[in-house]
Structure 1
Amino acid sequence: MSDTDQCRALTAGGERCTRPAQDDGFCYQHDEDDPTIDDDTTDTTTDDESTAESSTTEDDVSDENDEDVGDDESEASQSDDGTVGLIEVRDTVRSNAGKLIGHPFDALVEVGRQRDDDGEDDGWLAVVEVVERKAVPDTQDILGRYEIDLNDRGEFQSYRRVQRLHRGDTGESEV
C-alpha cells in the first residue's frame, strides 16, 4: 500500500494507522479531528486520550494488558491479513454506532464473533443501545437495541433494531 492509499491518522502509540484511506485521506475510523502524520515525518506522538480509545493497535494492547492477554493475543490485535480483534471492534463500535444508526449512542451491550454453518469465524456481531427518544425523568427514555454486523476487518456491514425499551425497564419487556 502506498502512502497516499494509507490513512493519515496516528494511533495512540504515535504510529501511522495501517488501514486503507478513503477519499478524505482517512480510514473509516479516523477523520480530520485526529492527530495526523506530518508530511515530512511519520514519527509524531499525541496526548489525545480520545484517540487512544478509538484506535488500539497490537503494540498498545500488548503493552497495556500483558497480564490480561496472556499467550493468545489474537483476539486483541489486528492480524497481517487485515482482520481485527475484539478490542478494535469494541472501540470501532463505540465510536461510530451513534453516527451509523442516527441516534445518540448509549451503551455497548455485547460484542462477539459470528460463526458460519461450519463453525468458522464469519465476522463480528455487536449489540448496542441508542437513545431514540429523551424523556423526563430519564428512566422513561426510549432506547433502541440494535445488532450491528461487521466483517473480519471490523467494517460495518448491516444493522437492525431488535428491541425498543424504556431505560427504567428491568426485564426484557418491549415498548
Structure 2
Amino acid sequence: MTNSSRTNGEAGADREPTASEVMRAARSQLTELTGMHVESVSSFARTDEGWELKVETVELARIPDTTSLLATYEVTLTTDGELASYHRVRRYERGRADPS
C-alpha cells in the first residue's frame, strides 16, 4: 500500500488503512517476497509503530493434504501497511495438533 495508491484524488486519501486492507497487504507482500501461499491470518494487532500479524503459510504441499508442511510467520507492517519485517516462528504438519 504505497502513498501513490492513496493520493490519486480519492476521498479520504490521507486516511490510515483499515484492518482488512492491512491484512490483504500483508498477505500479498509476504506471498510476493517468499513465493509461499498464505493460508490465513491467525493473529492481528495494532501497535504504536504499525501492525503485527501472525500469518500461516504452506511451505510444502503434500498428498495427502494433512501431511503438508505449514509455517507461522510474524509479520510487522508500518502504519501505511508496508511490510517492515517478517520471520518464521514455527513449522508444523497440517494434520498435527499442538502439544498441550
Give the TM-score normalised by structure 1: 0.48
Partner of 1:66: none
> Structure 1 stretches (4+) deviating beyond 4 angstroms?
none
Distance 2:46 2:61 in 1: 32
Partner of 1:51: none
Backbone CA RMSD of aligned residues: 2.8
Give the aligned length: 98
Give the TM-score normalised by structure 2: 0.79
Return the match for 1:86 from 9, 14, 19: 19
Q: How far did residue 170 of structure 1 move?
A: 2.1
Whether the 8 Å CA contact 1:86–1:112 is kept in 2: the answer is: no
- Unaligned stretches of 5+ in structure 2? none
> Is 1:157 matched with 2:84?
yes
Which amino acid in the other structure matches residue 158 of structure 1? S
- Unaligned stretches of 5+ in structure 1? 1-5, 8-16, 21-41, 43-56, 60-77, 115-120
Partner of 1:103: 36
Higher relative contact order (CA 8 A, sep 6+): 2
Whether the 8 Å CA contact 1:145–1:163 is kept in 2: the answer is: yes
Whether the 8 Å CA contact 2:52–2:75 is kept in 1: the answer is: yes
Distance 2:79 2:65 in 1: 36
Q: Which has the larger radius of gyration?
A: 1
Percent of matched pairs sharing the same residue: 33
Distance 1:149 1:172 in 2: 27
- Please identify which structure carries the higher strand content: 2
Which amino acid in the other structure matches residue 128 of structure 1? V
